[in-house]
Amino acid sequence: MSENNNKALIEVKNLKKYFDISVGLFRSKPLKAVDDVSFTINKGETLGLVGESGCGKTTVGRTLLNLYKPTSGEIWYDGKLISTPADIREFRKKATMVFQDPYSSLNPRMTVSDIIGEPLDIHKMYENKQEREDRILELMSHVGLNSEHASRYAHEFSGGQRQRIGIARALAVNPDFIVCDEPVSALDVSIQAQVINMFGELQEQLGLTYLFVAHDLLVVRHISNRIAVMYLGRMVELAEAGEIYDHPLHPYSQSLLSAVPVPDPKVARANKRIVLSGDIPSPLNAPSGCPFRTRCPHATEQCAMEMPPFKEVSKGHFVACYKVDEIN
């Protein structure tokens, strides 16, 4: 885990991504997958993004890389606004993605060499075949694969090895920034630690910056400098990793962290689990005001009127909650 140097590499301002969903004959309704999200990621930093399934974490990552076209908002990379197709193409030489499922994200008809070499082909990043081959072997060695694997196909590998192939492909263009979309959730627990440690080593060696999307809070704590919590398309809390684990301020963050298993039985028994009532609402019919108010024990009429501002309550600690001072 690298220390950040306080220079913003990625800036996201008021990002929105709505999907039009058909709700009847000639009628559609916007599904607000990401609704007015803003954050920055500093050079060499890892920002962890956590929340329940369906809260919009993956959509943030994909929209950030323009795999989904933003409905509105701005994305800045190293001080430059990404807006035109030329900007996006240039941005994709510096920003890539590691996908969640190593089984479906690799083409079964391509050899490992061709999978890793595809970004090199697209961006024409070699002078001759020998240079291409040398670069592919170098990338494979970075992720713990050997040259004998180059001519084999993805289905011949285990889940952990496939994810290593996906990581090598992401590294092919010499990126500065990688969106890691739940990269270990489909792997065995024994393999997860190896892959997480590899992400840390690659960050140290290559000076990488990560947006690390996950729902496993222990994994996120291990690798992240800062952590952002999302709920129903909105960001509700953002702080340093240690701060958010030791002093969560938003009621949703408190509930989420109370569910993290603790290996010490005495500590686990002493911990009080905060159980939320009700189910997560549909993003198609999100509540007015604060999206968490229908499950929040502290909600008032004010919470139903409008979304609380995402404000800094202490140095580097941002929360969107009207009752934050009364609760804590």
Tokens standing for residue 174: 């010499």
The C-alpha atoms of residue 145 and residue 165 are separated, in whole angstroms, by 8
Confidence class of residue 190 from pLDDT cuts 50, 70 and 90?
Answer: confident
- 261-293 pLDDT, tens digit each: 777 677 666 677 777 777 778 888 888 899 999
Query: Is 70 exceeded by the pLDDT of residue 1?
Result: no
More confident residue, 53 or 227: 227
Residue 195 corresponds to which amino acid?
A: V
Q: What is the mean pLDDT of the chain?
A: 89
Contact assessment for residue 76 and residue 10, using Cβ atoms and an 8 Å cutoff: yes
Which residue, among 145, 149, 176, 180, has the nearest Cα to 57 in the 3D structure?
A: 180
Q: Is the pLDDT of residue 235 over 60?
A: yes
CATH code assigned to 8-94+175-327: 3.40.50.300
192 three-state secondary structure: helix
pLDDT above 70 covers a percentage of the chain that reads 96
24-60 pLDDT, tens per residue?
Answer: 888 888 899 999 999 999 999 999 999 888 889 999 9
For residues 44 and 305, give the distance between their C-alpha atoms in angstroms, rounded to a whole number.
Answer: 39
Give pLDDT, residue 5.
58
pLDDT digits (tens, 9 = 90+) for 69-110: 999 999 999 999 999 999 999 998 899 999 988 888 899 899
In the beta sheet, which residues pair with residue 24?
27
Residue 246 CB burial class (10 angstroms; 0-12, 13-18, ≥19): exposed
DSSP state of 174: -
At 53 the pLDDT is 86
Please list, in sequence order, all residues whose beta carbon lies within 8 angstroms of the beta carbon of residue 162, skipping any fewer than 6 positions away. 102, 103, 106, 154
pLDDT at 264: 65
* CA 24 remoteness from chain centre: 33
Write down the domain spans for the chain: 8-94+175-327, 108-174
The pLDDT of residue 119 is: 92
Phi-psi region of 313 (alpha: psi -120 to 50; beta: other; left: phi over 0): alpha
